[in-house]
Copies of this chain bind each other. A is one copy, B any other.
Amino acid sequence: MTTLKVIKIGGNIIDDANALGQFLNGFASLKAPKILVHGGGKLASKLAEQMRVAVNMIGGRRITDQATLDIITMVYAGKINKNIVAKLQAQHCNAMGFTGADGNTIVSEKRAVNTIDYGFAGDVKKVNTALLEVLLKTNTTPVFCAITHDENGQLLNTNADTIASELAIGFASKYKTELYYCFEKNGVLLDVNNEDSVIENIDVKTYQNLIDTDCISEGMLPKLNNCFHAIKHKVNKVCIGKTDMLFNTQIKYTTIQK
């Protein structure tokens, strides 16, 4: 079975032109097939400020009203996505930008309003892999931003970590899939202030221990839940760490295990 790498990068790379350029050069050199998923970083908030649109966050999640949806569509699918695609093309990586609406690749449903109305936020319902598979076979590299649609004409702001895990799961029956969450730390840390305290392997049992002993920071919980969700659904390898883990075999990072 061919190996498919699904790699998610976040704000620490997106917001730093040098780091992004360096990462994209490395990413271009990775053996295809591969899929890149990128978050939005701080650019959307910056544009919102310039346009005097209020930024509303509850529990680290952005409340997506119409003005905010327009802004993230412009920033994620426009500026960030297209510049990444152009930079990869310059490195002879045949990149193609996607939202979930493009080719109907990722369908979401608008998050139901319980106590909080998240607005145009979508939770992934279905990944359609057929068209992407055709593209992967022509050596095309899909580059996904964190926007999906509901099949009824509505774009939806969608968590990039979830998009990455759902893509990896969607391809798990066709490829040996590997999912890499790249972020600003070396991995899941036992001591959040010590980059050398990387927990190299986490399985369901040690994960529960870490939660019970309050060793996992609140921000890491959704990421780790995505990881275990992927591992449970036949993704072959799930890793968390700095982008270096993709290029340097000496580097320590966290691997999630069943």
| A residues adjacent to B (C-beta < 8 A) | 47, 50-51, 70, 73-79, 81-83, 85-87, 89-90, 94-97, 99, 101-104, 130-131, 134-135, 138, 140, 147, 149, 151-155
- Sample 20 A-B pairs with CB under 8 A, ordered by A number: A47-B51, A73-B78, A74-B79, A75-B78, A77-B77, A77-B97, A82-B147, A85-B101, A86-B101, A86-B153, A86-B154, A89-B101, A89-B104, A89-B149, A90-B153, A94-B104, A97-B99, A97-B102, A131-B135, A134-B135
Once the chains bind, are B94 and A82 in contact (CB under 8 Å)? Answer: no
Chain B residues contacting A94 (CB-CB under 8 Å) are 103-104, 131
Once the chains bind, are B152 and A90 in contact (CB under 8 Å)? Answer: yes
Once the chains bind, are B73 and A79 in contact (CB under 8 Å)? Answer: yes
Once the chains bind, are B102 and A95 in contact (CB under 8 Å)? Answer: yes
Chain B residues contacting A75 (CB-CB under 8 Å) are 74, 78
Chain B residues contacting A95 (CB-CB under 8 Å) are 101-103
Question: Whole-angstrom distance from the CB of A74 to the nearest CB of chain B?
Answer: 4
Query: How many monomers of this protein are in the complex?
Result: 2
Once the chains bind, are A155 and B83 in contact (CB under 8 Å)? Answer: yes
CA distance A103 to B138 in the complex (A): 10
Once the chains bind, are B77 and A82 in contact (CB under 8 Å)? Answer: yes
Once the chains bind, are B151 and A140 in contact (CB under 8 Å)? Answer: no
CA distance A83 to B73 in the complex (A): 9
Q: A73-B78, A134-B134 are in contact. List 10 more A-B contacts (CB 8 A).
A: A50-B51, A74-B75, A77-B81, A78-B79, A82-B99, A82-B155, A85-B102, A86-B101, A89-B104, A97-B102
Once the chains bind, are A153 and B89 in contact (CB under 8 Å)? Answer: yes
Question: Whole-angstrom distance from the CB of A215 to the nearest CB of chain B?
Answer: 40
Question: Whole-angstrom distance from the CB of A199 to the nearest CB of chain B?
Answer: 38
Question: Whole-angstrom distance from the CB of A139 to the nearest CB of chain B?
Answer: 10
Once the chains bind, are B73 and A76 in contact (CB under 8 Å)? Answer: no
Given contact pairs A94-B103, A131-B140, A149 touches B86 in the complex (Cβ within 8 A): yes
Chain B residues contacting A82 (CB-CB under 8 Å) are 73, 77, 99, 101-102, 147, 155
Chain B residues contacting A51 (CB-CB under 8 Å) are 47, 50-51
CA distance A78 to B147 in the complex (A): 11
Chain B residues contacting A135 (CB-CB under 8 Å) are 131, 134
Given contact pairs A73-B83, A79-B70, A90 touches B151 in the complex (Cβ within 8 A): yes
Chain B residues contacting A154 (CB-CB under 8 Å) are 86
CA distance A77 to B86 in the complex (A): 13
Chain B residues contacting A78 (CB-CB under 8 Å) are 73-79, 81
